[in-house]
Amino acid sequence: MLVFKFGGASVRDAAAIQNVASILSLYPGKKLTVVVSAMGKSTNKLEEIVEALETKNHKLFSGLVDELEEFHMDIMAALFPERHFKIYQTIEELFEKLRSRYEAVFSENKSFEYDQVVSLGEVLSSQIVSAYLIDQDFSVQWMDARKLIRTDHSYQEGKVDWKKTEQLVRENMLPSFIDTDILLTQGFVGHTLEGFTTTLGREGSDYTAGILAYCSEAESVTIWKDVPGMLNADPKYFENTKKLEAISFKEAIELSYYGASVIHPKTIQPLQNRNIPLYVKSFLDPKSDGTVIQASSSQDHLIPSYIFKFDQALYSFTPKDFSFIVEENLSVIFGKLSDLNVKINLMQNSALSFSILVDQNKVKRTQLLELFQKEYEVKYNEDLSLVTIRHYDEETINQVTKGKEVLLQQRTRHTARFVLK
Ligand code: ASP
C-alpha cells in the first residue's frame, strides 16, 4: 500500500481536484491511502472564524462562514453540475453545524474550540474529493482520521499515542482495503480518548501521512507538491535552484531543523523508524522523479543546500560583574529565555559574552531588555539575516557573503552558518 498526501494547493479548485483524479488514475488497482488537506486557504479562514466566535462578533462570523461555504459550493458546482448529488446535502449539513456553534458556549480552552472548528476544513475537503472520485468510478471509501489517530489532550498540537493509533489503523482502516482500492482521509486531525477532535499543528497533514504509513507499514509515502521535489534553496531567494535527487532521513531532518520548509519536520521520524521512503513529487508533472528521502546518505553531499532566515535579531549579554560566561551564568540566561518562550536560531559565547540570534518579530525587545538589563549589559543588532549552507565549500560561502558584513559565523564539518548584515 502506498500513502499519498495532497496539500491545500493541490485541491484548491475544481481543476486541481480533477488533476488529483488523473494522478490517481496512474496507479490502477494499487492500494492507496490518500490524505488530503483543507482546500486552498480554508484553514486560515477557519482560524478567523474561531476569532469571530471568541469575540462574539456575529456579523463577522456569519460573513466568514458564508464566504467559506460559497468557496466550497463553487468548487462543487464545477465538479457536480447536477444538484441532486448527495454531497450537497453532506456539505450543507456540515455548514449548518458550524453555524450552530455561534449559539454554543465558547469554553475557556480556546485551543479546544479551535480544534473543533478548524478541523472542518479537512472534513469538507475529503468529503468533496471522495464524492468526486466515486463519481469518476474510482474504488474509494471515505475514512474518518478523527477515529484513527489517537492523541493526548494537547489541543492544537496533539501528541500521538502510537500504540493505540497503530491498533486502530490495523483494526479499523486496513481491513477496508479488502473491498476498496483507495481509502481517502483527512490530514491534520486526530481525537482524544473521549472522542474530541484534536489537530496536529499547522501544516500537519504531512505528519498524518507519516503516521498512517508507520502504523500500516506502507511501502512508501508520496507528498504531491507544486515544486518538482526538494530544492536546494527556496526559489524566492535564490536563482538557479537545483533539485535534490535523493537525500537521507537524517539530512532531511537537518534541513528542516535549519528552516527548510518543504516537509513538516515531524513527518520524517516515523518513516525513518520503519525505513519507509518518502517521495516529494510535482502534481503538475506526476511522472517525473521528484526527490526521494530514504536511509542511504550516499548522495547527501552532492549538492550544497542553502537555507535563509530573514528579520533576525542578534542579542549579546555581558555580565555586569565581569563574571565569566560559564555553566551557572548560562543556566540563569537560559531560564530567563525559556520564561519568555524565546526560540534560539543560533548561539555563541566567549569568555565574557553570550550571543543569541532570534526571529525579530517573535521576540519582544523591551521585555527581553527589562529582564536582563539589571545584571547584564545587553547589546542588540536588528534586521539581520541568517544563512545556513549544508555541504559548503569556499565558493558557496563567497557567493552568499559577497558584499555583506559577517557579524558572526559558525562552521562544522557539513554546515556553515553566517549572520549577515
Ligand atoms: N490544513 C492545515 C493547515 O493549513 C494542515 C495542512 O494543510 O497540512 O495548516
Give the Å distance between the CA of 264 and the centre of ligand 1. 10
CA distance 111 to 154: 8
Which amino acid type is present at position 70? E
**CB neighbours of residue 401 within 10 Å:** 16
Residue 151 is predicted with a pLDDT of 98
C-alpha neighbours within 13 Å on the C-beta side of residue 158: 33
pLDDT confidence bin for 81, thresholds 50/70/90 = confident
For the Cβ of 8 lying below 6 angstroms from any atom of ligand 1, the answer is yes
Give the Å distance between the CA of 40 and the centre of ligand 1. 9
Site to substitute for ligand 1 among 5, 10, 39, 43, most atoms within 8 A of C-beta: 43
Residue 132 is predicted with a pLDDT of 97
Nearest protein CA to atom 8 of ligand 1, as residue: 203
100 Cβ partners below 8 Å, 6+ apart? none
Claim: this prediction has a pTM higher than 0.75: yes
CA distance 405 to 421: 5
**What are the CA-CA distances from residue 177 to residues 163, 168, 182, 277 (Å)?**
21, 14, 7, 21
Residue 118's SS3 state is helix
Handedness of CA 144, 149, 152, 154 (dihedral sign): negative
**What are the CA-CA distances from residue 78 to residues 18, 71, 81, 213, 367 (Å)?**
10, 11, 6, 32, 52
Residue 322 in this model has a pLDDT that exceeds 90: no
Give the Å distance between the CA of 243 and the centre of ligand 1. 24
For the Cβ of 208 lying below 6 angstroms from any atom of ligand 1, the answer is no
For the Cβ of 188 lying below 6 angstroms from any atom of ligand 1, the answer is yes
Nearest protein CA to atom 5 of ligand 1, as residue: 203
Q: What is the mean pLDDT of the chain?
A: 95
For the Cβ of 186 lying below 6 angstroms from any atom of ligand 1, the answer is no
Q: Each residue of 243-270: pLDDT tens digit?
A: 999 999 999 999 988 888 778 889 999 9
Q: Each residue of 335-366: pLDDT tens digit?
A: 999 999 899 999 998 888 999 999 999 999 99
